[in-house]
Amino acid sequence: MSLRALNFPLSVPRNVVTVIIGCVWILMMGHLVKTEIHIQKDRTDKTFVTSPIIRPFNQWMEIFYKGEKLGYSHTDLTQMDREGETMFSLSHRTQLKMKVLDVTQNIKMSGFSFFDAEARLKNFTFYVDTKSYKMVLKGEMHDQVLSVHLKTGQSEQSFDLNVPENIIFSEDMNFLMTQKKFRPGDHGQFIVFDPMAMGQYALTYDVLEKKDGLLKIEFNYRGLLSYVWLNEHREIVKEINPLGWVMIRSTREDALTDMPGNLDLTNATSIPVTKEIPNPQNIKKLTLGIQGIDAGVLRDFPPKEIQNIDVIQKPSGIEIIITKPGENDLEILREIEEPDEEAMSVYLKGEILIQTQHPLIVSTAHEIVDTDLDLWGAAKKINEWVFDTLEKKPVISIPSALDVLKSGYGDCNEHTVLFTALARAKGIPVIPIVGLVFLDNKFYYHAWPAVYVGEWIQMDPTFGQNIADTTHIPFFAGSLEEQARIASLVGRIQIEVIDIVNE
């Protein structure tokens, strides 16, 4: 019997509880989740220009979160001669060890970059290796075109990006900082290519102060702040990223030892509440008090029509009222016309990891919806198929719809990306959402889609809900650039259950 046949009368199945925490991976690696970010044309920031390589570089860092050691990183520079030209190779590797619901996860990231003597990027290779996922990404510069080849799981693809000549590979940024002399008051931006996001973005920096012999630099990406401290020898001694991960300069011996892997992301990122929310699927209206975020986060949630939340500003925080539409409320949707493709084009197009036009995606979508259904009927069939077909399993990966379709398992990220590709292949506008959902007396970070079927309706293929229950709190929606903004909320939010109205 499928889980759908049970209709979840009492609670969400335990394997779905397990899989929710897999969504946190993207959030915890905040700098790894920005994709196709276009450089802002109206900025006046001075763009960081690479400097001649003049200093050796060999750096070991220990990585901590909430006082627990997660792993280490190592970066090393090698000089070489290639056809009479002085070149430099920068190798880097990171190893992390942590738990996901008491299951130990080991994550390895490694690679190398090649520069000329002026530190101009020539090519790079980047690897990700976990127990269940492997990725290889290679890039080569040709004038101002970066040619990229990506292999993830069972699929491969190549693409070109137009980039500025001084583009920086994100894994090389710390090294390049040590080659340049900064002074308090300096301000500018890096143009960065992120290997885990397959895109470029602008990252501004401000040199704040020099205190106790250390120079403090702040980095800002759309409100996501991180900090680096340099000593008088231009060595990085400490870093803090937007999620509170702390990297401390170390020795090889200390970096490689004492990695207990005791931190469980489930407990580290969940938000407990003191009042139980029984049977979320039966709730018509839910009122919550939220501290730690600005009301504008919810009021600005795009697209405007998707919002089923009333936001009230209170002295102690904000109060939100989430209302769930009933199936009977949606009957009118059967009478709608097809959506305007031009107006909805952004929600219908394929992306690097949402391969809407791939023959396997297209044929699968047609097999699922093999009759002449309206948009809402087709969306429900796809939602139910994804729920019934995918094994609920936490995965540490950068999800690709094609890989998920072939592997047949994943967490909320995999469910959402596959649903998005299949639904768009059938002409249904879809927007991915990130936010929070309630399970077992806690709120967890979660991903789910919304479909446009005459109006925007939130669905959840991970839970098998055709209409997402009222404990789904949407914060950001759209591209991974938008979804990445949720990293600024992790660790800040407190939630109080105020009122529950059942159907």
* DSSP sequence for 131-185: SS-EEEEEEEEETTEEEEEEEETTEEEEEEEE--TT-EEGGGHHHHHTTS---TT
DSSP per-residue letters across 243-266 = T--EEEEE-HHHHHS------BHH
In a domain, 133, yes or no: yes
Position 62 in a domain: yes
Question: Which residues fall within 8 angstroms of residue 219, CB to CB, at 6 or more apart?
Answer: 203, 204, 205, 225, 226, 227, 228
Question: 72-81, 253-262, 420-429 — which one is most confidently predicted on average?
Answer: 420-429
Burial (0-12, 13-18, 19+ Cβ within 10 Å), 240: middle
3-class DSSP state for residue 375?
A: helix
Q: Is residue 55 part of a domain?
A: yes
Taking residues 188-212, report their average pLDDT.
Answer: 80
Domain that holds residue 225: 33-256
For residue 297, the SS3 value is helix
Residue 243 has pLDDT above 80, yes or no: no
Query: Which residue type, as a one-letter code, is found at position 383?
Result: N
Q: Taking Cα atoms as reference points, which of 469, 494, 496 lies closest to residue 279?
A: 469
CA distances from 357 to 68, 154, 378, 418 (A): 44, 17, 18, 13
Task: Tell me what the mean pLDDT of segment 113-127 comes to.
Answer: 88
In the prediction, which pLDDT does 425 show?
Answer: 96
pLDDT-derived band at 327 (thresholds 50, 70, 90) equals: low
pLDDT at 229 exceeding the cut of 90: yes
Dist. CA 195–CA 479, nearest whole Å: 16
Measure the CA–CA gap between 313 and 250, rounded to whole angstroms.
46
Ranking 22-26, 46-50, 454-458 by mean pLDDT, the lowest is 22-26
The amino acid occupying position 252 is R
For residue 59, is pLDDT > 70? yes
**pLDDT score at 50:** 56
Q: Band of the pLDDT at 456, cuts 50, 70, 90?
A: confident
pLDDT band at 119 (very low <50, low <70, confident <90, very high): confident
For residues 277 and 322, the answer to whether their CB atoms sit within 8 Å is no
How many CB atoms are located within 10 Å of the residue 463 CB?
Answer: 28
Residues 294-299 have a mean pLDDT of: 72
Question: Is 410 domain-assigned?
Answer: no
**SS3 assignment, position 34:** coil
- Assign 196 a pLDDT band (cuts: 50, 70, 90): low
Distance in angstroms (rounded) separating the CA atoms of residues 488 and 224: 6
Q: What is the mean pLDDT of residues 477-490?
A: 77
More confident residue, 481 or 465: 465
| pLDDT tens-place string over residues 341-392 | 777 888 999 988 899 999 999 999 999 998 888 899 999 999 999 999 999 8
Separation of alpha carbons 114 and 80, rounded Å: 10
Per the domain annotation, does 438 fall within a domain? no
Instruction: Give the amino acid at 379.
Output: A
Check residues 165 and 336 and name the one with the higher pLDDT.
Answer: 165
Mean pLDDT along residues 151-160: 85
Residue 182 lies in a domain: yes
Q: Which helix (H) or strand (E) holds 119?
A: none
Distance CA 138, CA 147 (A): 8
Range with the poorest average pLDDT among 161-170, 197-206, 295-304: 295-304
Regarding beta strands 473-477 and 430-439, do their DSSP bridges make them parallel or antiparallel, or are they unpaired?
Answer: antiparallel
Would you state the pLDDT for residue 190? Answer: 80
Predicted confidence at residue 478, as pLDDT, reads 83
Number of domains within the chain = 1
Residue where the block lists tokens 């901590």: 64
* pLDDT value for 154: 77
Q: How far is residue 116's CA from residue 52's CA, in Å, rounded to a whole number?
A: 9
Query: CB-based contacts of 485: which residues, under 8 Å, 6+ apart?
Result: 222, 223, 224, 475, 476
- The better pLDDT of the pair 203, 101 is held by 203
Among the residue ranges 259-273, 399-413, 417-431, the one predicted with the least confidence is 259-273
> What average pLDDT does the chain have?
81
pLDDT higher than 60, residue 28: no
Beta strands in 186-262, from DSSP E residues, in sequence order: 187-194, 199-211, 214-221, 224-230, 236-240, 246-250
Cis peptide bond N-terminal to 315, omega within 30: no
Of all helices (H) and strands (E), which one includes residue 71? strand 68-82
Tell me how far CA of residue 339 lies from CA of 49, 56, 99, 329, 423, in angstroms.
46, 58, 44, 19, 13
Tell me, yes or no, whether 291 lies in a domain: no
Q: What is the pLDDT of residue 333?
A: 55
Longest Cα–Cα distance in the chain: 76
400-409 pLDDT, tens digit each? 899 999 999 8
Q: Is residue 301 part of a domain?
A: no
